[in-house]
Amino acid sequence: MSGHSKWAQIKRKKGATDTKRGQLFTRLARDITIAVREGGSGDPDANFSLRLAWDKARAANMPKENIERAIQRGLGSTGEGGHLEDISYEVYGPGGSALIVQVLTDNRNRAASDVRRVITRAGANLASAGSVAWMFEKRGVFTIPVKGKSAEDIELELIDAGVDDVETADEHIEAYVTPEHLRPVREELQKRHIPLENAEVSLIAKNPAEVSAADAVKTMQLIEQLEELDDVQKVITNLDITDEAMAEFEKATA
């Protein structure tokens, strides 16, 4: 899970850039709209998926009116937007890493064309359905800021609250549970007043892929290029990001 934690660390550092591009709020709004449509409710207290999307949007300082507009769109009250499709593309990245590109789009052909273009230019290859997906499993993931406290004390409290695994990086702790335990453990963490920066169900690599530092940098650059596409919501990888690769990537993107 180290790859997931270190990539999350990189994204936190570059979060302000994403916000300036206007992509973050767009993706958050789509998450909210889909949560409303799938959950059949615009009430975050009655729709747990919406609660997660709502909390993530508020943590990103997304304006309340944007959130409400996304909820109304999900309820079909605005007449905006057509049918949104949730599509995943499986990719073999540089050096043998694996990626899953999660797309949310109202135009399947446009999304497919954009994703293929970026993948081809990076020297990566689209994989057939199932070729990559088996390398990942769904896990509930909590991100907890350490904020100067003892990481060990927080980890012990997280374990007492019911999490399965923990990993600390960049003054943040990533805690993992099975997807069905995300809601009860989240409620327990709130009772214990443990601050949550994020809570979501995500795909986590079963076995991180070890590649050269050069190929790791190419893979991270590919992920960034994919995430710049309007229809791409998230890119997940099994890449094992070493400290050397992370330093080289930060140097290349400074």
Q: pLDDT, tens digit, for every residue of 131-171? A: 999 999 999 999 998 887 888 899 999 999 999 999 887 78
| pLDDT at 93 exceeding the cut of 70 | yes
Residue (of 171, 200, 172) closest to 185 by Cα position: 200
Mean pLDDT across the stretch 190-214?
A: 91
| pLDDT at 16 exceeding the cut of 80 | no
Per-residue pLDDT at 90: 97
Cα–Cα distance measured from residue 196 to residue 208, given in angstroms and rounded to the nearest whole number? 26
Fold of the CATH domain 13-75: Arc Repressor Mutant, subunit A (1.10.10)
* CATH 3.30.70.980 domain range(s) in the chain: 85-132+209-252, 135-205
Q: What is the pTM (predicted TM-score) of this model?
A: 0.81
| pLDDT at 212 exceeding the cut of 80 | yes
Considering only the top CATH level, what class is 135-205?
A: alpha beta
On whether the CB atoms of residues 201 and 141 are closer than 8 A, the answer is: yes
Q: What is the residue-averaged pLDDT of the chain?
A: 87
Per-residue pLDDT at 37: 86
* CATH 1.10.10.200 domain range(s) in the chain: 13-75
Write the DSSP string, 21-87: HTHHHHHHHHHHHHHHHHHT-S-TTT-HHHHHHHHHHHHTT--HHHHHHHHHHHHT-S------EEE
Per-residue pLDDT at 143: 92
Q: Which amino acid is at 128?
A: S
Q: Hey, is 118 helix, strand or coil?
A: helix
Residue (of 217, 172, 212, 221) closest to 195 by Cα position: 172
User: Whose structure tokens read 């057939």?
Assistant: 128
Considering only the top CATH level, what class is 85-132+209-252?
A: alpha beta
